[in-house]
Structure 1
Amino acid sequence: MIRKNGLLLSLVLGLVVFWIGVHPQQVLAADEAGFTVKTVLPANQRDTSQTYFDLRVSPNQEQDLEVVIQNRNTAPLTVLLAAHSAFTNDNGVVEYGKSPKPADSTLPVNLQDIVTLPAEVTIPALSQQTVKIHLKMPAKPFSGTVLGGLQFKAKPDDKGNEKGAVTNRYVYAVGLMLSESDQPVVPDLKLRQVAADNDHGQPAIRANIQNFEAAILRNLHVNGYLYRQSGGKALYRSEKSRINMAPNSNFNFKLNLDKGPLIPGKYRLKLIAKGGGRTWNLTRTFTISKKDADKLHALSKPETPAASIPWYLILIGGIVLGISLYVGFKKIQSICRRKR
């Protein structure tokens, strides 16, 4: 019997969730989660009307943050804790979990370096526990915003899972936003690497866009155009809207080559990005090598259909089968007559 290990990862984003592009807002806990997380706002909370941590900090500052975890189950519950810097995924969405890629090179402060918290806590049945999370700011000052989240996840109980059962795991992410001053910092964009890519089995051009400032960029709209290096007519176009970028983060903008692969040569990629009242014109010339072209061509090849049998062979086979059945039937009739 094949064991099914299903995982429903429901992102119940704590008492607060940072929806970049709108103001942070409160999300009520799902009863099925079995636990809730509540923040205890400290004196240096900037906006006391919110329930996420929005703290004014200073270099070398140390403090303990507190959250209250309530266990709604009739059995003890173990909760896993982690701290992560916010990042931008390739769909243009800000996330607060563990990033699948290294932190951006421009990130001034990595949350994992300044936050110390227990790896897990066990809470007795139908009770609550206050958990301390230690914050130690670096000596070097920073401008703008450091953004991230504190993650709380119920530890799976492998012993209690029956074969074939589906394990539900609910995750809370409590926002953590840090700043040292009110001095405004505006987002800024840079086009980094441009290369041929495999986008879920389809040929594409990947352009890595970086927000290298410590500021949130909301509602970004990007238009992409691919030309031959000296050409004036776009070979391919792509568009993506409602992109949100975390401070000091990057994501991959994809331009799918749905009309067929590129031949080796030099190309020019032009991106027009609009957001935050600004417009960026980003251009990069790059080369598609023969190796790149072969790789893109291989991805563009349609699946070879199963070999079909020519119609005339089917017709001949049908005739032969019909004759065989007729001859066999006549032989049976002849045998039956002789027996009579």
Structure 2
Amino acid sequence: MNKKFKCLLLFLTCFILGIIANPTKVSADIKGIAVTPLIEDSSITDRFQIISKSGGTRDLKVSISNFNSSPIDLVVAPTNATTSPDGKIIFTDMIKKGDFGLQYAFSSMTKTQKVTVKANQTKDLTFKIKLPNNKVKGLIMGGFNVYENTSNFNSSANVPVWITGDNKAVGGILKAYNLTIGVQNYQPHMYVNLQNDQPGLMKNVIVHMTVKRQSWLDRFNLGPKKMVADLRYPKIAPNSKVPIDFNQNQTPIAPGTYKMNGVARSGKTVWNFHKTYKISQSDANKINSKSRNLIYDKTLTYILISGVLVTLIAFIFWGIWYQNRS
């Protein structure tokens, strides 16, 4: 039996078993890796769904197949869902109890597992989930983040785990959370972060947000321009941060006081936001030092040079006038 035939036989075996168990493969960005939740007795096949009323434990099984020609080391880490800047549900942030009003952290219900999957091999992992003793209010949107042990979340696959007490919907509430700065692709970014602090999945949320750095030059309409973001979030995870990205492109982060104003709508519900944040010189320097090809605004420099020149010319004319008068 040659190697190609063995590979084909392994693939057909996995495929037939998959049809029998009726699983759905979770989309993976890890090349050649398929991650499948092994779900029984449920019409929902793209996630685990648990109704928890009195605690206890549940066993969840995840199948990982490696179709590459070399082994791969993977980490399967439990965490809670959060929201990406483009309105997608993601599991790449390690969320802890208390974050964004979270009452139950999925990471405390089970343990992270590491696994080595050989070439053309399939391995099943079992996770024992310890459910809260009290009845769960709303929705705990947990999940497993599967990533390479050396990639630091650069490529990953997600297996969602929904835990609810009664399947009743809970509405979300948006609040201003904070303002942060960071670097992406060697460009500085500013993020105004909202938060949904309720255990409810939100849908079709439209956000209009403006941010402006305050300056004395505003009196002369020469101050920094107002940054504007108009975004639509198809979904916002329960108890999650909602980042609004302001790409600075080649403009460096400037220290100072920033004023944020915004409004968010979901159906007939409207939230208004008004808050002031401060960015220190040291924080701005850290971000700018990691960025490339920055173009600095020289408006203030030009104004100072113009002021010096005007003062110098005025002084010369005054000197000439004074000398003629004498």
TM-score > 0.5, shorter chain as reference: yes
Deviations 1:4-43 (A, max 9, x none): xxxxxxxxxxxxxxxxxxxxx9667689944433322245
Q: CA deviation at 1:257?
A: 7.3
Letter matched to residue 112 of structure 1: S
Q: CA deviation at 1:71?
A: 4.4
Give the corresponding residue for 1:131: 125
Which of 102-111 and 67-76 deviates more? 67-76
Could you tell me the TM-score, scaled by structure 2's length?
A: 0.61
- Residue 68 (structure 1) aligned with residue 53 (structure 2): no
Deviations 1:95-135 (A, max 9, x none): 11244999724112111110235322546x65544321111
Q: CA deviation at 1:213?
A: 0.8
Contact 1:217 1:276 in 2 (8 A): no
Task: Name the SS for the 2:53 alignment partner.
Answer: coil
Give the corresponding residue for 1:96: 91
Q: CA deviation at 1:263?
A: 10
Q: CA deviation at 1:179?
A: 0.8
Q: How does 1:186-197 map to 2 (within 5 A)?
A: 186-194=171-179, 197=181
In the alignment, which of 215, 223, 226 is matched to residue 236 of structure 1? 226
Letter matched to residue 152 of structure 1: V
Task: Name the SS for the 1:214 alignment partner.
Answer: coil
Cα distance in 1 for partners of 2:143, 2:254 equals 45
Give the corresponding residue for 2:145: 151
Could you tell me the TM-score, scaled by structure 1's length?
A: 0.58
Give the corresponding residue for 1:84: 79
Cα distance in 1 for partners of 2:279, 2:157 equals 44
In the alignment, which of 36, 39, 52 is matched to residue 37 of structure 2? 39
Cα distance in 2 for partners of 1:294, 1:71 equals 44
**Structure 1 spans left out of the alignment, 5+ residues:** 1-24, 157-168, 304-340
Task: Name the SS for the 1:181 alignment partner.
Answer: coil
Cα distance in 2 for partners of 1:84, 1:190 equals 22
**Structure 2 spans left out of the alignment, 5+ residues:** 1-22, 299-326
Task: Name the SS for the 1:112 alignment partner.
Answer: helix
Give the corresponding residue for 1:314: none
Give the corresponding residue for 2:316: none
Contact 1:88 1:251 in 2 (8 A): yes
Letter matched to residue 130 of structure 2: K
Give the corresponding residue for 2:202: 217
Give the corresponding residue for 1:208: 193
Cα distance change of structure 1 residues 36 and 180 upon mapping to structure 2, 3 Å threshold? same
Which of 279-288 and 175-184 deviates more? 279-288
Cα distance in 2 for partners of 1:262, 1:34 equals 40
Letter matched to residue 275 of structure 1: S
Cα distance in 1 for partners of 2:111, 2:281 equals 50
Give the corresponding residue for 1:250: 241
Give the corresponding residue for 2:262: 271
Cα distance change of structure 1 residues 95 and 102 upon mapping to structure 2, 3 Å threshold? farther
Deviations 1:249-281 (A, max 9, x none): 1133245679x9999987642201123542211
Cα distance in 1 for partners of 2:206, 2:139 equals 22
| Greater per-residue helix proportion | 2
Cα distance in 2 for partners of 1:28, 1:272 equals 35
Letter matched to residue 165 of structure 2: E
Cα distance in 2 for partners of 1:150, 1:51 equals 13
The structure with more radius of gyration: 1
Question: What percent identity do the matched residue pairs reach?
Answer: 22
Cα distance change of structure 1 residues 32 and 109 upon mapping to structure 2, 3 Å threshold? closer
Cα distance in 2 for partners of 1:88, 1:58 equals 27
Give the corresponding residue for 1:57: 52
